[in-house]
Every structure is written in structure tokens, then in C-alpha cells.
Amino acid sequence: MATTYAVSAGGVANAVRLANKKLGEKQVPLMGILAAFVFATQMLNFPVAGGTSGHLIGAALVAILLGPWVAVLVMSCVLIAQSLIFQDGGLLALGANIFNMGIIAGFGAYYLYRLTGSLLGDNRRAKVVSGFIAAWGSVFLASIACAIELAVSGVLPIGVVLPAMAGVHALIGIGEGLITVAVLSLVLATRADLLKLQRI
């Protein structure tokens, strides 16, 4: 859809501007590592309904460690590479994919993490629980956005696509949450300083 392309293009442009201005030498290598991790996890696809599929996203982990705008940038790079190299998603859906998995999932995860962290506290357990909630929520929110877009574009009726997408992704979100918790736990045990990096 032209609307999602326009919003995504604006989001990516702003993410690039902020990254050029604010990212330091510690964040750039971490961005590359996270991009490779997200690329690998997204290769796992699960059939949903009406020819659609679901998969892990990875935006939550990036948003938690480096911020929502970096998540937009990393997810955009991953999705562009997938569409050009593997024809996964395709160029026509690229705007919607960046919007759903970069902007919606990235910002959704970041603010869910901040919100739950402010409620639960600043200890290690709170960070891990917040990470799970943020990851699950990011997948669920992105799936709802995708379902609405499919319905608006006339591909599938909302009564079919919304329960199918939301239901399957509610389960996929649990997997995403567990993976995010595992990585966050490792980071907290070995490189807790990474959680103190500037986020953009």
C-alpha cells in the first residue's frame, strides 16, 4: 500500500538521520550482530491462513538494547535483504512489512519494556519479565496491524484474517518472548553495560 510505503520511508529516513548523529562506536558493531541474529530467526516461517504466514520478528531485542529508531533501521535492512535476495515478502509488501515489523513492533516493544520496567522496578528479574512482555506484545501488535492492512486492501475479510493472524502470533510471541529472555539473561550475566548504551 502506498500509505505504508510513505510512512515507512519517512521512518527509515528519520532513523538514518538519528543514527548518523547519535550512534557511537559501541552501538554500530552491536547493530550488525543484531541484524544477523534477526535475519536468521526470521527464516523460520509458520503457515497461518489464506496463504499468509507468521514468523519470529526480533525487533523487540533490538529496541530494548539500542532503541526503537535503531530497530526501525535494523529491521528495514533485514527486510530489504530478504525481499531482494530471497524474494521473501516481495517489494510490493516491503512498505507494509517495514511499518509492521520495524515501526509498530519496534516502538511497541520499546514502550512496553519501559512501561513494565517502571512498574516492576530496575532489578534483573524485572528486566527479564519486561523483555518477555515487550517481545510478546511486539509480535501481537504487528500481527494485528498486518491483519487490518490485509482486510483494508481486500485480500481477506477482517473476520477471517484477524483471528487467524492474532491467534497464531499470540503463540509465536511466546517463542519470541522466550528467545528475548534468553538473550537478555545472557547480556545481563556477561555484558550488563550493553543495557546502559544510549538508545535512539
For 49-99, what is each residue's pLDDT tens digit? 555 556 678 899 999 999 999 999 999 999 998 888 877 666 778 889 999
pTM recorded for the entire structure? 0.89
- Find out if CATH 1.10.1760.20 is the number for domain 2-196: yes
Mean pLDDT value of segment 166-173: 87
Which helix (H) or strand (E) covers residue 164, if one does? helix 158-190
- CA 76 to the chain's CA centroid: 10
pLDDT over 90 percentage in the chain: 52
User: What's the pLDDT at 53?
Assistant: 58
Phi, psi of 26 (to 5 degrees): -80, -30
**Alpha carbon distance 64, 28 (integer Å):** 15
Closest C-alpha among 70, 51, 48 to residue 59 = 70
For 14-28, what is each residue's pLDDT tens digit? 999 998 888 888 888
Q: At what angle do helices 105-120 and 59-66 cross, to 10 degrees?
A: 60
